[in-house]
Every structure is written in structure tokens, then in C-alpha cells.
Amino acid sequence: MMQKIQRFGGAMFTPVLLFAFSGLILAISIMLTNPLIVGGIADTSTFWYKFWMVIQNGGWTVFNQMELLFVVGLPIGLAKEANGRAAMESLVIYLTFNYFVSTILGFWGKTFGVNFNVDSTQLQGTGLKMIAGIKTLDTSVLGAIVLSAIVVWLHNRYFNTKLPEWLGVFQGSSFVVILGFVVMLPVALLACWLWPMVQSGIASLQVFMASSGVIGVFIYSFLERVLIPTGLHHFIYIPFMFGPAVTPDGIVKAWLANIQNFSESAKPLKELFPEGGFALFGNDKIWPPIGIAAAFYVTAKPEKRKKVLALLIPAVLTAVMAGITEPFEFTFLFAAPVLFVIHALLCGIMDATMYFFGVVGSMDSGIIDMATKNWIPLFANHWTTYVAQWIIALIFMVIYFFLFRFLILKFNFATPGREADDEETKLHTKADYKNKKAGGQISGANEYTESAAVYLDALGGFDNIQDVTNCATRLRVTVKDETLVQPDAAFKAGGAHGVVRHGKAFQVIVGLSVPQVREEFEKLLKKGIK
């Protein structure tokens, strides 16, 4: 069960990858149409304003169509085969569900306690929403995820069902859509009955979470960080950032939609947008890695410091600039798990401290994202908030350095650069593998192909692979026999940062190139290379 939950959590990240670029575009376009920043050139009659409004409206695409993105994105990550067809099936069945709901509420809305006669342009706060031109219940990304999961189950179970020859036109995707059509009718009825009650519960949850204060921010930030090794952290932040946990459409969309008003107001940001306390975990990706990396460097053996620096610099830059911390954190997670738990606790304390001193916003990624969505557009009226943020961040960066340095030396943790001199023994290297496969078995090999080949071999070969998916930085593989999987050193020979093992479920920590590695991994599987 845990294996399935982890795979599901990783698949949820597939559409989330699109939000970073769109958020950046929106932040830039909003800044460049703000008179407080660019002056009179931002007048609504100028070409400048009109041009950037075109860009801004394009940037809203993924935020305005989040449900459709999750509906299409989950099958890409979870379908065992024919992922593209599964995505199409999911979209069609999701739209069918919404047409069912729309028609049912059109006839019997009062029976379900829903006023369906509201004008389509006045749906805010009514529990209704326009999705792909359909007036329907606002089930948010939660509904999209549940319905997409149903479709993935139907696809994996029935896509290859062989029908009689005279019914052959109805097999494959058509058969899955037919089954989905039948299943969605009772599901739509249940949604009309249950979802208005769920919406009421969500509204109560929003009030509770928004008023939970410093303690709530600490628990949320701690869980978001400490669950990273399991892959379950996606279940923590996605309902807050993109779902209805504290705001109807998620923190990111709510923040961007109001950022100009916030920038023009002199009221404290914490008063304007208290929900933004649950979006401070981007700070955990910028400041702690610098302090931790410094501790690793000074505690490394002198003869290994150059090698450690070469390992840490790209990992830290990836964390600070892009907000992807897993390649960095997994460099020490396996050597000293207790340090990772301390790291998670400190992240929770740092974010809670920032919130206590009035820091809120949309800070879920790296420094570029944080600057464009927070510091630059709001600095004029809220500079004191950001000065407080930077002071707290620098204090914690120093705390990280001294605390990690003390713990590493006190308990002699084998962090990067402190391994035993004879610990460099490897089962095989990438070059060994290439030599082993010489003779044309791997055609058109590139860096991704080579890494994928190493991982395939370390996982026990072609015959031992049951299925493969990925999230932002990890190749997630289910094997048939876990005893055939080689030690972590075999994976590190292919460039992996580490391996998470849970029974037959394995997560190879690849980094940001994991989509390309998975593509090559699946190509090798199809060729039957062991």
C-alpha cells in the first residue's frame, strides 16, 4: 500500500512542474504593469501596458486550468503503458463527469442544496465553477485527482482487454472511455450529494488552518521537509499551494491574483494574507543548504575537500536557484539520517519564526522565484518585512553551520568527504558498463542512456522490472525480486545521489534529469536489454 501511495504522490508532481514558469511569467508581467514600479508607462492606454497584459493573461493558463492539468498529468505518471492514451481517456471521462454534474444540478440543484441558477460570470463563492466551458461543481484539484485515479485504474485493468472481432472498434481507449462513461454517472450523483457537504467542511478547515498561527506553520513546514525521503511530502503542500486547504484556488493563484493590491497597500502582509504563512518553505531551499554545505566542507578530510566542493556547489546552486533540494539533501541523508531530521525541525522553526515576525507570501521555490513574486514587486511598501526575513535567514544559516559542524565532529558522521579511505570500492563504474555493452547493443547512447543502463543493471536487469514512473527528481521502480537489487554504490556509479528502498519499491535519486533518464530507461526495457 505504501508503495502505491508513494507512486501516486510522485505522479501528482508531474503537472506541478509547469507552475514554476507560469508563476515567473505572471510575477514579471504584474511587476511591469504596476505604476509603483515602472511609473506612467504602466497607464492602461499605453502599448506597454497592453503588451504585458497579453503576456499576463497567457501566464494565467495553467492556474486557470489546474483541474485539467492534474487530470491529464496523473495518467502520464501512473499508467503502466500507453500513457498518452491514458491521458486522453482521463480528459474525456473527466469532462463527461462534469457534463453529468451540470445537467443533474440544472434539473435538481435545489434537491442537493445548490443554487445552480447563478450567472456564469458570478460564480465566486457559490461552490460552482466554469471548467472547459461547463458550469459545474468546483471540486478543485482534489476532484480532478480522484477522478483521474479512477481512470488510471480502469486503464491499467482494461486497456488490453480483447473483445470479439466484431466489437474490435470498441477495445483499447474506446473500451476504457465506455467503462468510464458508465462509472461516472453514479460518481456524478454522489458528487452532487456529497461535495456540497465537503465544501462546507473545507471552508471550516480553511478558517482553522488560517488561524492556527505559528504552531500550524511549524507543523506544516516540518512535515513538508521530513517526508521528502518517502515522497509523501507532495500530499502536504499540494492541497495548500494549488488546492483548497486555506484558499479556494490555492495559495499561489490567490497571491498572484492580489499581488498588485498587496504592493499598493501599507498594511502588514501578515494582515493582508495570513494564509501565506503556509508558503514559506522556499526559505528551506535557499538558506539551510548554504550553511550545511559549509559545515560539510570544513569537516571534510583535507585531501577530499576539492572533491566535496565539486559535489556540493552544483547541488547547492540547484537548491538555491531552482528550489530543488533533493539532490543536495540526499548527499547526506543516507550517511546521517539524524541530521536530516534535525534539518527538518530547524526548517519548521525557521519558517514559524519568520511567520511570527510577519513574513508571508508565495515562497515555495528558489531565489529567482522568491525575488520576482515577493521582494521586487512588494519591496516599496513592505521592505521591513523582507529585511526581517533576511536577518532571520542569515541567523539560521549560521546556526546550521555551527550545529551541523558540531554534530558531525561529535558523532563522526560519514558526511561527504569523511568516508573511510577504502570506501570507494565500487561494484562497477559507468565505463565498466559501457565496455560490457560494447558491440552495438546500445545504439545512440548518450549520458541519459548510460545512466539508465547502469540503473537497469543495478535493479536486477530487464526481467526484474515490474513498472517504472518518476517524480521531480526520482526514478521510481517496482521490482519483482528485491534481493537482486545491488547496493547503492552500483547506482552512484551511474550518477545517482542515493536510493530509497521500501520492499519491492525503489526510488533512485537522479536529479532534475530524471524525465530524460526515465525515457531512456523505458527504451531499454522495450529492447529487452539486461
Single-letter code of the amino acid located at 495: G
3-state secondary structure of 280: coil
CA 410 from chain centre, in angstroms, equals 35
Contact in structure between 148 and 69 (CB atoms under 8 Å): no
Cell 514512473 belongs to which residue?
Answer: 469
d(CA 292, CA 403): 9
Show Cβ contacts of residue 173 under 8 Å, excluding neighbours closer than 6 positions: 82, 85, 88, 89, 159
Q: Residue 127: which of 136, 135, 138 has the closest Cα?
A: 138
CA 47 from chain centre, in angstroms, equals 37
Q: Residue 475: which of 424, 376, 454, 483 has the closest Cα?
A: 454
Cell 542569515 belongs to which residue?
Answer: 394
* CA distances for 110 relative to 126, 208, 369, angstroms: 13, 29, 45
d(CA 118, CA 87): 32
**What is the arrangement of strands in the sheet containing 498-502, beginning at the earlier edge strand?**
465-470, 474-479, 505-509, 498-502
Contact in structure between 159 and 176 (CB atoms under 8 Å): yes
- Beta strand 498-502 with 128-131 is unpaired
471 a catalytic residue: yes
* CA distances for 457 relative to 81, 236, 443, 463, angstroms: 21, 34, 17, 10
Catalytic option among 344, 471, 477, 510 = 471
Contact in structure between 512 and 470 (CB atoms under 8 Å): no
Q: Which residues are catalytic?
A: 471
